[in-house]
Structures are given as C-alpha cells and as structure tokens.
Chains A and B, each alone.
Chain A
Amino acid sequence: MPRIKTKRTKPAPEGFEKVKPTLVDFELQLKEVQSDKASRLSAKAEEGVWKVFQISHERSRYVYNLYYKRHAISRELYEWLLREKYADKTLIAKWKKKGYEKLCCLRCIQSTETAQGTTCICRVPRSTLEENSKDGKVTFQRCVHCGCSGCASTD
C-alpha cells in the first residue's frame, strides 16, 4: 500500500501525472478486493489474500516495466514511487536476478519458513513437475501462499 500523504511527503517528481490514472485504478481494485469476505472453509480461507497478492504484484511489475523496460519514467520518479511504496522494491530487486524474472512473491522463495527447507512448489518449472508426476499429469494448481500457478522463468 502506498504511504499516506502528509505535509512532509515530498511532492511527486515530474511525470507522475501520466502514471497516476493507472495507479489509482490499481488502488480501486485493491479496495474492491478488500470488501470480499473470506470463505468459511479453512481450505479456501486464504484465497481472498491471493487477489491482494496478485494485484500488488501486478502493480510492482507495472512500475518495474515503466522504468526498466519502457524507459517511460525518470530515475527520480521511479525512486519516489518506490519510497512511497507504490511498488515492492524487495520484489523488484529479485526480478533483476537470473532465474527470478517472474517471481510471484517473496514468501515463495523463503526456504527457511517451510518444513522441508525448500522453496514453494510454484517455483518448480512445469516441465520438472511433469517429469516427476507418475502419469504426466500435474495436480498442482495454485500455491498456498499467494495463489501463484507457477512462476519459474521457463514457464
């Protein structure tokens, strides 16, 4: 979530007006998701959070693309956006690394938090999942953490 604007907040650098409508739209999407009630089934309880993850991932990706791919915004504006938390800079830091280009969320690579000491199943390439399954059919659909359906760079 972006920081709350106060008097002390630095004014946005030039060019912010151009990206503002899109960022506002993302915010609206997040608000809509906020009011969704969680399912009472314990197996589905997490699913409401998935949407939040997905939208904030999309927004981070948007800011990342604007600066690194489209070269549409200035360095100052990019840094300002990160400082105001319009994008997750720790996630973006991972995207710059080889093999993490499509990473869905940071929790999915946090191997210390899992019982097996491995990363989330969504990090496993689809082809590997297919090889390891008995009949070539992959039962995995979405991961528990953020609802990612596979974020290996080869997918």
Chain B
Amino acid sequence: MGRIWKQFKTPDGRDYYFNTLTQTSTWERPKDLDEDAGKQDRNKKRKLDEKPKFAILLANDWYLVITSLGNRYFFDSGSGRVSDELDDEASQEIMLRVNREKLVLLIGVARGYDYKGRDAYGEVVGEIESIRNSLSDKNISEGPESATSSPEENSATPQGEAGIVAGYSSSDDAESDAESDDEIGQILIEDVDETSVADREQAFTQLFAKYELDPFSTWSLQSKQINADPEYYLIKDEARRSEIFEGWCIKVLADASKGNEHSIVDESGLDSDDSDEAQFEPTKYHYLAHIVSKSNIKPTTIYKDVKSENKHLFNQFRVKDTITKREQENFVAKLLFYYKKLSLDERQATFTEFLESNRTKIEAGLTDRDKLKQLINMETLPKKSYDIETSLLNIENSMDVYGRNAFLQTEVRYYVLSITEKIKCLQRFFKQTFS
C-alpha cells in the first residue's frame, strides 16, 4: 500500500499536503503523515532501531544505559531526564573506576555478540556495586551529604530493570550487527584506548591460535575467519593487523621447524643404538667453533673478518641453516675473546675448570658408560681429521649432549678449544671419573 498523504510544494515554495484517498489537499501538516511515513520506512529503519538493552545503576538514581547499537547514554530516574553527559559527581567517579574492558565486552554483548561462558552484564554490575560500596563507605566517613541511596536498595533494582530492558531486544539486533561490524570496531576502540597497546596486541595474537589460523595462508583470507570476534577490533589499523599476523606466522613456522630439527636429532640418537657407523648431529656451535679455531686470529679480529676469511667453510658446513646470523655473531664475539686474551694452556685450564665445576651434573647425564670408557682409553688419535671429528662426536653422543647434558651445547666455554685439544681434555676429564 502506498502512502496516503503526499507532500508537495507550491510554486512560491510553501508546502502543502495531498490526501490520495479523499483527493483533498490541505496546508496543515496532517497527523497521520508521520505515522504513515513511519510505517513505510519501518523495514529500512528496523535494522538501525536503537533500543536500550542494559541499564546499570550508578549512584543517586542515575543509570548507565547501553543500547542495542552499542551506544551509551545516562538516565536520571529521579527526574526522568536522559542525557549524554553524566550530571552527577558520584556517578562520574564510578564511571572512572569501572574496568574498561568489561564495559567494552558488555557493549559487544548488547550488540548481539554471544560471548561464550561469560556473563558480561553480571560482571559489570558486580564491579560497579563493589565500587559504589567502597565509595559510599568513604563518603560516609568523610561526610554523609553525598551518599543518598543505600547499597542494599540499589542492588535489587538494576537486576529487575535490566531484565525488563533486555526483554525488549529482538532477534533483529544480531542481524544488524553482522552487517555493521566495522561500526562496533569504532565504538569498541574508542573505549579501549586506555588499555596498553602491548596488551591489546597480545590479546589479538591469541585469537590466531584460538581460531587455528593457517600460518601458510594470507591475512586477507584468514582475517575472514576471525573478524566476527570482538577482540579482532582491539587493533584499529588494518595494516597493523596484517603486520601482527605476519609476525605470528614467522614465529609459528620457526617454532615448527625447530621442532622438526629436534625430531631429527632424536632419530639420529635412535640410529646410533643400532650401528656405530651412524652419523651424529654435532653440537650447536661445533662447526662455528671449529672455524674459529682454524682461522688466523689477531688482536683486532672481529666476526666479520672470520666470516670473510672462511666463507667457503661457512657454506660447506651450512652454518646458517642451524644458527641465526645474530647467534653466530654473538657466539663468535664471545669465543674470540677467549682466543685473543688467553693462551692455549690457559684455554685448556678454562675448559677443564668449566667441566670440573659441572662434574656431578655431567656424570649424572652419562648414557653409554662402556662405550665412553673405550673411547677414553684410546691412546692415539686417528690420523684423518674426519675420524678425529667422528671420535669427538662419539664421545659427545655418549655424554648425552642432546639430552640431559644439553646445557653444554650453549656454553661458550665448552668451545674454547679446537677439536683435537678438546678430545684430549675430555679424555683426561673422564679418566678421573672411571678411575
């Protein structure tokens, strides 16, 4: 059905109204026109219809009202006045102290978001009540004039009020929310600005794990899975969001590859039980230490010199596959200190001292004592450098450097000697153990 009243303008600019049923016109604005128009636009307007959804008593008869669109206003039940500004000191005080995050959550719920397992309304009411109680206690001690209503009375009212108000809300709200997600975002963000950026980013990052996003995918695809969550809007900037996602992907993938490496090491450990010929994984900085021990070290040598001098060795041993650039740099810098400041004897002393200080720990971690004994009693070292290295790896393997003695792997002092010297020192060290 069309509209009954139509609005026209006369040539001189005055409005007049025409009734299509009775074919009459009038200068005065008819009453039914507005109702009529209202009926007409209802479908359009319904989605944007704002209804109060939660009401929370603050103080002195003032209520905080949150509407189904997530907006808030204040209502003075004493005078029946509605306003955007809070005109009451005690209430303002309460608003200042309320936990922002909880309020934001409540706004999310008002807009139709179903936050599983959390009663946002109950939380906010509970908190405001406790704030009010503590404030009114203070006020009573300071002077009785400001606290007018007793907390017992109040605690009953907001529940009842809210129940009624919530009853008005229709299922349409949820619908409108899905379409105006970005609006929520804005409202939420305005409210959360005070919570620290780092916290928000952390909460945001947790979303990725929660929704099990794919670290192999792109942000533009993955964001669709999580943009219905209110926490998605903790970060305002889309570019920043995708940046955080990228960072998360890098981290997850790095962790995953680390896990793989461990499993490889474990496997090699298992293999060694079957045959003596098995290849052992060297300790973390094994090759790097080897390279440093080979290189020509002057008092001015730094990491860069070592690297440029032994570029082919770096490539041959694939140092960068297992150790990041920064770790390499840190380790070599520390190691160079020992090589520059101490002579060979002093370094041997340092190495033995380090082992001695951890003797109990190391001995507790030994796995294959028989084999170790055999290796220790080897009088002459093999001729080929490859065999020397293998025997060191054998010793290290029976010391369980990958398992219980893993702390050795990351200690710089464990690497201060070249491979041959290290074997000799280790032999001496373990001879004491078995004697």
Q: Is the CB of A71 within 8 A of B250?
A: yes
A58 and B253 in contact, given A69-B246, A70-B246 (Cβ under 8 angstroms): no
Q: Is the CB of B253 within 8 A of A22?
A: no
CB nearest to A72 among chain B residues: B253
Q: Which residues of B, 175-217, contact A by the 8 Å Cβ criterion? A: 214-217
- Across-interface contacts of B217 in A (CB, < 8 A): 21-22
Residue of A58, A62, A70 near B215 (CB, 8 A) is A70
Indicate if B221 sits at the interface (CB-CB under 8 A). Answer: yes
B253-271 contact mask (Cβ, 8 Å, vs A): 1 or 0: 1100100000000000000
Q: Is the CB of B216 within 8 A of A58?
A: no
Number of A-B contacts (CB under 8 A): 30
Residue of B216, B220, B254 near A19 (CB, 8 A) is B216
- Across-interface contacts of A18 in B (CB, < 8 A): 216
Q: What separation, in Å, do the CA atoms of A62 and B216 have in the docked complex?
A: 9
Q: What separation, in Å, do the CA atoms of A21 and B215 have in the docked complex?
A: 12
- Across-interface contacts of A25 in B (CB, < 8 A): 221
Give the secondary structure class of B's interface: helix
Indicate if A65 sits at the interface (CB-CB under 8 A). Answer: yes
- Across-interface contacts of A69 in B (CB, < 8 A): 246, 250
Q: Is the CB of B246 within 8 A of A65?
A: yes
Q: Is the CB of B216 within 8 A of A22?
A: yes
CB nearest to B220 among chain A residues: A58
B224-261 contact mask (Cβ, 8 Å, vs A): 1 or 0: 00000000000000000000001001100110010000
A70 and B221 in contact, given A18-B216, A19-B216 (Cβ under 8 angstroms): no
Indicate if B218 sits at the interface (CB-CB under 8 A). Answer: yes
- Across-interface contacts of A143 in B (CB, < 8 A): none
A: number of interface residues (CB 8 Å)? 13
Q: Is the CB of B221 within 8 A of A72?
A: no
Indicate if A91 sits at the interface (CB-CB under 8 A). Answer: no
Q: Which residues of A, 42-99, contact B by the 8 Å Cβ criterion? A: 58, 62, 65-66, 69-72
Q: What separation, in Å, do the CA atoms of A21 and B257 have in the docked complex?
A: 21
Q: Is the CB of B218 within 8 A of A58?
A: yes
Q: What separation, in Å, do the CA atoms of A18 and B253 have in the docked complex?
A: 12
Q: Is the CB of A72 within 8 A of B216?
A: yes
Q: What separation, in Å, do the CA atoms of A71 and B257 have in the docked complex?
A: 10
Q: Is the CB of A21 within 8 A of B246?
A: no
Give the secondary structure class of A's interface: helix
B54 to chain A, nearest CB (A): 40
B425 to chain A, nearest CB (A): 37
Q: What separation, in Å, do the CA atoms of A22 and B220 have in the docked complex?
A: 10
Q: Is the CB of B246 within 8 A of A22?
A: no
- Across-interface contacts of A21 in B (CB, < 8 A): 214, 217
Q: What separation, in Å, do the CA atoms of A18 and B256 have in the docked complex?
A: 13
Q: What separation, in Å, do the CA atoms of A72 and B253 have in the docked complex?
A: 6
Q: What separation, in Å, do the CA atoms of A22 and B215 have in the docked complex?
A: 11
Q: Which residues of A, 106-123, contact B by the 8 Å Cβ criterion? A: none
A3-32 contact mask (Cβ, 8 Å, vs B): 1 or 0: 000000000000000110110010000000
A20 to chain B, nearest CB (A): 9
- Across-interface contacts of B218 in A (CB, < 8 A): 22, 58, 62
Q: What separation, in Å, do the CA atoms of A72 and B216 have in the docked complex?
A: 7
A58 to chain B, nearest CB (A): 7
A104 to chain B, nearest CB (A): 15
CB nearest to B248 among chain A residues: A70
Q: What separation, in Å, do the CA atoms of A62 and B254 have in the docked complex?
A: 18
Q: Is the CB of B253 within 8 A of A70?
A: yes
- Across-interface contacts of B221 in A (CB, < 8 A): 22, 25
A63 to chain B, nearest CB (A): 10
Q: Is the CB of B249 within 8 A of A72?
A: yes
Q: What separation, in Å, do the CA atoms of A22 and B250 have in the docked complex?
A: 17
B234 to chain A, nearest CB (A): 23
A65 to chain B, nearest CB (A): 7
Closest 9 CB pairs of A and B: A18-B216, A22-B217, A72-B253, A62-B218, A70-B249, A70-B250, A19-B216, A70-B253, A25-B221
A selection of 27 A-B contacts at a CB cut-off of 8 Å is A18-B216, A19-B216, A21-B214, A21-B217, A22-B216, A22-B217, A22-B221, A25-B221, A58-B218, A58-B220, A62-B218, A65-B246, A66-B216, A69-B246, A69-B250, A70-B215, A70-B246, A70-B249, A70-B250, A70-B253, A71-B250, A71-B253, A71-B254, A72-B215, A72-B216, A72-B249, A72-B253
**Further contacts, 4 of them, CB under 8 A, given A22-B217, A69-B246:** A62-B218, A66-B216, A71-B250, A72-B253
